[in-house]
Amino acid sequence: MGEMRKLLNTLYILQPNAYLSRDGENIVVTIEGREIARRPIHILEQIICFNYMGISPGLMQLCTENKVNVTFLTPNGGFIGRIQGKTSGNVLLRREQYRIADDKSHALPIAKNMIIAKIINQRKIINRGIRDHGEFTDINLLKTIEDRLNEIVLRVDSVSNHEELRGLEGEASRFYFTGVNELIVRQKDIFYFKERSRRPPKDPFNALLSFAYTLLTVDMTGAIETVGLDPYVGFFHTDRPGRASLSLDMIEELRGYIADRFVLSLINRHQITKNDFVFKESGGVLLNEKGREKFLTAWQKRKLNIIEHPFLKEKIEIGLLPYAQAMLLARYIRKDIDEYPPFLM
């Protein structure tokens, strides 16, 4: 059993005019020369910046020496870039990863496991919705969707190439999101799902999903780097310059559990409301600064919830799931285990 790490804190910098610098072993956040926060480096795992003012070279060095990832996002969660120290992990592991990625027949079973887990988790979310919100929803529609997802899982098992797998994954997503729309049981006047829209999101529900997926991808990329794999070479998503294909592969099985359920609870508990968004004339919808702050506070809290990992049989924080899955993938690539075990709720 590998050593499970401890979940450390993420520092989110939300104020656009904040500047980050170093004082000894501390991170200092200033606005117009006034210190507004100070954190010791050793309590942090990563810093996610939504600011435009930047970060001092001295602090960059402190972060890379302490393996603290720093990621820069635009205020609405678009990825700008990340600061990374020396690549960790052993080169043999990465070479084996590239060999598998180049060999479609070897990559396909891993991709299949990820997508089967994704669809099973989607089905479980629909099933839980039937249980929890029965009186507020169209039960027959949800049951039909559940049956369709079951059927698709069985078909995924027998696909013989990536194109068929992508087709089934897309089909499952369309059914699932129709069901998710039924699971929004409060504030239905502003939160609803017509279709997935990304850049920019066209409605508040899509804005929340995109923001959650961005944060999950950032966490996954850090986890993949930590175990020594390359986040840019995947087994399901095709490689494109600048696209973290493996991170996108690996969040597939976690999206429903970590992001979608979180977003539904924010809406159904009235933790986020219409006042937390900016509605652009162009039709785009984004969280405003107050909305982002509420979102991130709840997100941090959710990451601390403890669950038992279904494969490792260990109690871990939800925030460590990306790391646990990256570690299991690295084990599979090293041939320590016979199959990659995806995360099942």
Residue keyed to tokens 């590998």: 2
- What average pLDDT does this structure show over 265-272? 95
In angstroms, rounded to a whole number, what is the distance separating the alpha carbons of residues 78 and 48? Answer: 12
Q: Cβ(19)–Cβ(34) under 8 Å?
A: no
**In what side-by-side order are the strands of the sheet with 9-13?**
9-13, 44-49, 69-73, 79-83
Strand segments, DSSP code E, in the chain are 9-13, 18-23, 26-31, 34-40, 44-49, 69-73, 79-83, 277-279, 285-287, 306-308, 315-317
User: Rounded to 5 degrees, what are φ and ψ at 56?
Assistant: -80, 150
- Give me the pLDDT at residue 149, please: 95
* Residues 194-199: contacts with CB under 8 Å, at least 24 apart: 199/78
Name the band, by pLDDT with cuts 50, 70 and 90, for residue 130.
Answer: confident
The answer, yes or no, to whether residue 1 has pLDDT greater than 50, is no
Name the band, by pLDDT with cuts 50, 70 and 90, for residue 4.
Answer: low
Please name the amino acid found at residue 298.
A
Q: What is the dihedral of CA 279, 281, 283, 289, to 10 degrees?
A: -30
- Give me the pLDDT at residue 147, please: 94
pLDDT tens per residue across span 110-129: 999 999 999 999 999 999 88
- Give me the pLDDT at residue 239, please: 67
- What average pLDDT does this structure show over 222-244? 84
DSSP character string of 290-333: HHHHHHHHHHHHHHT-EEE-TTT--EEEGGGHHHHHHHHHHHHH
Instruction: Please tell me the pTM assigned to this model.
Output: 0.88
In angstroms, rounded to a whole number, what is the distance separating the alpha carbons of residues 291 and 49? Answer: 16
- Give me the pLDDT at residue 222, please: 86
Report the alpha-carbon angle 141-145-148, nearest 5. 140
The answer, yes or no, to whether residue 229 has pLDDT greater than 80, is yes
Closest CA to 208 of 302, 125, 286: 286
Q: Kindly state the tokens that stand for 211.
A: 């923001």
> For residue 308, what are the β-bridge partners?
315
pLDDT tens per residue across span 179-202: 998 898 898 889 998 878 777 899
Q: Which residue has the higher pLDDT, 165 or 85?
A: 165
pLDDT tens per residue across span 38-67: 999 998 888 888 877 789 999 999 998 988
Where does 227-287 have alpha helices with state H?
245-254, 261-268
- Give me the pLDDT at residue 88, please: 62
